[in-house]
Amino acid sequence: MQKRFISSVGGCMLVLAALACNTKNITDINTDPNTPVDAPAGALFTNAAITAAHWVGNGRDLRATEFVAQHLAEVQYPDEDRYSRLQGPSTTSYFDDAYFQELQDLRKVIQKGQSETNPAIWGPATVLQIWTFENLTDIWGDIPYSQALGADSTGGTLTPVYDKQQDIYTSFFARLADAVTAMEATDSSGLGSADPLYGGDVKKWVKFANSLRARLAMHIVNVDPATANTQLTAALSDPGGVFTSNDDNAKIVWPGDGVYDNPWADNFKTRDDHRMSKTLMDQMVPYDDPRVAIYAQPVLDSTIFPNGYGGMPNGLNADTAGTWFNVASRPGLVFYPGATSYGPFGDGSGLRWPSFIMTYAEVMFIKAEAAQRSMGGLAPGEAATDYYAGIQASMDQWGVTDEAAVTAFEGKPGIAYTPGIPAGLDQIAIQKYVAFYSDGTQAWVDWRRTCQPATLHAGPNAIVDFVPRRFEYSQTEYSVNAANVNAALAQMGGSDDFATRMWWDSNPTAAPTHTSGCNEPTGP
């Protein structure tokens, strides 16, 4: 746009009607009204929540961690299932996008809420930001955290350091505690309809914050049991409470309007390369788990699975994987959009299926594990009660209504609770793994610290002979922040590969559920 410089009073008079010789109006000529430099906290929060949901949606989950956790397998183009497309060049966007999308939006919401002294705004944004950072650190290990997101601020940097995961977790606990205290004390109005998780209900956000704090505490139990116990006790005893029913679940219910659809269903509109994993199905089908018919669709060829449901092995080459096309179950109809380019699957309700950020079922399994370990102020005698409550919560969450089938399932050998260590902890870990379906990252986290299910192994054609302990760092970071990337690898004690352990995964034999059959690297 050619600028016109008006240097005389006469020139000013010529444009007086339009600009009134006001330099602000002259500046406004060059302002694009369709590209605002600021946005309300509510709009930013909505966008951040929808974007963050992809940690349990397409991309990071459906095309990455679901294969590592072996909820799902790839029947076509099995590169992710073999880990070859989970190397740094292929997962760079998963790392980068979080920083300049949802984390940046949430930072701005926190700033706006704090400037207004309104915990009903900055509190929920803090909780969701920590949940996002948690996914990042639990996938990559040490990450930019304390200096991240502030390059546009005084004293900010374009090359942030990579904080140690232990320090990041310490910050998580402190920030969640502060957010809970502030939200419990406020009577300010919240985000209202701009909050797609809880509609601005601050009490629900308090429960989410405490539940997330309990999750994080259990993550570190193998490396810092004292801190884990302290944080778990604080979370479970807080007056605001943790989740107490599925009504408290942190989730996004999608409109299914063609613009905001469930990310799994959106993927399945045009892609047919996902099948159920044998690892997951083997924990369900032999026990007549009532969730099978919801998690999975019946096979089209019952030669191998005459009972109608079954999964395929992970990590196959393309030719072998293709033989399972009609033999293994597809994911359940609850994830399908209706008519697709390859078949009429579902009635369209899958477009509206929720994305679950954190659930009541998980909280009950956390409590069951804590009780069996005598943590969090709980005693072993409570473990069985919480274990069965976790199973029931998962059944209810997924729409199982056959109470007799649930009762029969809970009574089967291998499912009926066996108190003690490691037997009870093994059962809790396996049922938690099953309940985590559609959250591959958290299933992978728990497998790394419990080694359950012990049948989870790298596939025969995987590029490494073990299940990855982490993902490789962003290639962008090597271009713009290499010194700090290399410092992070040094402080984690390894190289940038699948075998390097992160802090909370650095003492696996401390877990009572650890077995010699755990498929892990033999390195550090």
d(CA 498, CA 68): 11
Q: 32-42 pLDDT, tens per residue?
A: 555 556 789 99
Task: Report d(CA 165, CA 162) in Å as an integer.
Answer: 9
Residue 379 token pair: 């005693």
Tell me the residue type at 444: W
Using alpha carbons, list the distances in angstroms from residue 71 to 74, 250, 278, 453.
Answer: 11, 21, 8, 11
Q: Which long-range contacts (CB under 8 A, 24 or more apart) does 87-90 make?
A: 87/472, 88/471, 88/472, 88/473, 88/474, 88/475, 88/496, 89/475
Tokens of 32: 């694009």
Helices 202-219 and 119-140 meet at what angle, rounded to 10?
20
Residues 307-343 have pLDDT tens digits of: 999 999 999 999 999 999 999 999 999 999 998 888 8
Q: What pLDDT is stored for residue 29 in this prediction?
A: 52
Low-confidence ranges of the chain (pLDDT < 70): 1-37, 514-517, 522-524
